[in-house]
Amino acid sequence: MGGCVNTRSVRPLVLALLLSALAPVISGCPSGGGGSSSQPVAGGSPTPTASGGSPPPGAPGGGSPPPTGGGGSPAPGNPPTGGFAGTFTHHNDNARTGQNLSETVLTLANVRVQTFGKRFSYPLDGVAHASPLYVAGVNIPNQGIRNVVYVATEHDSVYAFDADGGMTTPLWKVSFINPAAGVTTVPPNETGETGDIMLEIGITGTPVIDPASGTLYVVAKTKEVSGATTAYVQRLHALDIMTGAEKFGGPVLIQASVPGVGFVPLRQNQRSALLLSNGVVYIGFGSHGDQPTYHGWLLGYSATTLEQVMAFCATPNADKGGIWMSNGGPAVDSTGNIYFTTGNGGFNAGTGDYGDTLVKLDPTGTVLDYFTPDNQAALDAADLDFGSGGILLLPNQPGPHPRLVITAGKNAAIHLINRDNLGKLSTGDANAVQSLPNIFPIGTSPIPGNYSAPVYFNGTVYFGPVGDTVKAFGLSNGLLSTAPTSQSSAPFSYPGGALAVSANGNADGILWAVERRGEAVGVLHAYDASNLGIELYNSEQAAASRDTLGAAAAKFSIPLVANGKVFVGSVSQLTVYGLLP
């Protein structure tokens, strides 16, 4: 009951036909352009364009300034693929394991300062909070076959770059703003922001790619002023990965309601990564700095028509309960059921309110099960989001509970939960398979605990908590070790380590971690995944600042490892590491 789900009353968006005219101008700008060529149309929707009035995307001389540093790039049209097809979603797969097990180039032996380092970087027009994605062997018109890395920024731009440095400009770039027509990114202070997202708000959540259809799905937020009217808008875009052109009649306005509650685009922060499952794109929303009034939302859109097919509100009879997970994404099991955690908010399962809860939905948005810590009221009162750190569906384990999900949040505890029976609310969390309370007690800024999605490799789960060392916990018979089996020698300041794993099967396992040191410095680290006490490399080891990131790391953005290269997003550039020539 509770008004939490309304699938039958969700209708196709009436603006679909109107917005179908909003395809980006990929082959150049209309006459009169000289920068963005977007023109205002009904509803204030801009036409995203190719990079600022320059030659067509991918043509010499178009787009942004060239990548800097490094050499030895492959000949255009003949990129090495290394057998890895791509990273199409946040943390590599819909279980959110964070592991690329097809990395044959980077090994424990060659990721060393003598043989590995910064190769080149691409400038960006805004902060890349969204993590990069990668597709091998994309056929770019007039440019041949390329390995492509895709990056989205808070300046409401999406870039496609040659992942091997074979181009000096973006292969294509799309922008969703047009300042001359009153369409801009959203100033953070207008949301009531408290400093969480600095400078401007545009694209925050990591996109998702459908390799079968060659489509990248991304949500952009804009402020649109027409005369005395100001609107704050969020849209779902479906872009052709070869050209950046809009597909399927997109973009579509994001809007939703359940009885008594409506979606408010200004207040809702699309921070969590997008999920693509069984032909539906799922999009989660939290808040901007807990500014009221907001709710946690999970919305589903058809991947081929962009029609809304599901709308779930986490707190229809309360408030808050944001789905943000520090840029992590909802996960999906083999039967198509969806898992996510929520932040602080009202909880009453009888009225359909699920603040500070691990929720399991079926694809229609019906709640199948949930787990709520027994101190939920205290967590809510203290802003200790249970759902700050994202989730991970573990591979099947031996023991009585083979199907497990793991999470850790601001409450500084790890919870290992049975996916077949999440346990609901129980005294002392007795229905959890395992709880490790106060396992991350050190962090103090702004709040202790965990703000990063865990990753898994070869029987081990890794966490990067706030103000603490990166830690590994072994799995045995379906239970975690009660203390770390290894940990890094140095701690990571707020928000903790952003983690990814590369390996060749079970061999050459490397844990990659991005460290963010305030607003000025970012550091890439590489550890032996079997013993985090062995640091193989970090980007400050080389003399003369050879490998420095060159900018502050973007909060929560994870490193991407693909075909011998490591891609790191920051506040102003994409930096690419690999074996030195």
Phi/psi at 487 (5° precision): -155, 160
Phi/psi at 191 (5° precision): -90, -10
Q: Report yes or no: 308 and 10 within 8 Å, Cβ to Cβ.
A: yes
What fold characterizes domain 16-579?
Answer: Methylamine Dehydrogenase; Chain H (2.130.10)
Phi/psi at 225 (5° precision): -110, 125
Task: Reduce the DSSP state of residue 83 to 3 states and report it.
Answer: coil
Walk along the chain (581 residues) in steps of 10 and give the mean pLDDT of each run: 37 31 29 28 33 28 40 42 88 98 98 98 97 98 97 98 95 98 97 89 98 98 98 98 98 97 97 98 96 96 98 97 97 98 97 98 98 96 94 97 97 96 95 96 74 96 96 98 97 94 98 89 96 98 96 94 98 97 96
Q: What angle do CA 76, 34, 138 make, to 5 degrees?
A: 25
What is the model's pLDDT at position 84?
Answer: 95
Q: What is the dihedral of CA 441, 442, 445, 448, to 10 degrees?
A: -10
Instruction: For residue 45, give both structure tokens.
Output: 């929707």
Instruction: For residue 536, give both structure tokens.
Output: 């193989």
Strands (E), 288-412: 297-302, 308-313, 331-332, 338-341, 347-348, 353-354, 358-361, 367-372, 391-393, 404-408
- Spatial neighbors of 518 by CB under 8 A, at least 6 apart, are 493, 552
CA distance 416 to 21: 48
CA distance 391 to 331: 7
Q: Report yes or no: 392 and 90 within 8 Å, Cβ to Cβ.
A: no
CA distance 175 to 152: 10
Displacement of CA 515 from its chain's centroid (Å):
17
Instruction: For residue 398, give both structure tokens.
Output: 């031996």
- Taking alpha carbons only, the member of 127, 94, 91 closest to residue 454 is 91
What is the model's pLDDT at position 438?
Answer: 93
CA torsion sign for 270, 151, 405, 444 is negative
Q: Is 78 exposed, middle or buried (CB count within 10 Å of its CB: 0-12, 13-18, 19+)?
A: exposed
- Spatial neighbors of 257 by CB under 8 A, at least 6 apart, are 6, 263, 311
What is the model's pLDDT at position 83?
Answer: 80
The pTM of the full predicted model, rounded to 2 decimals, is: 0.88
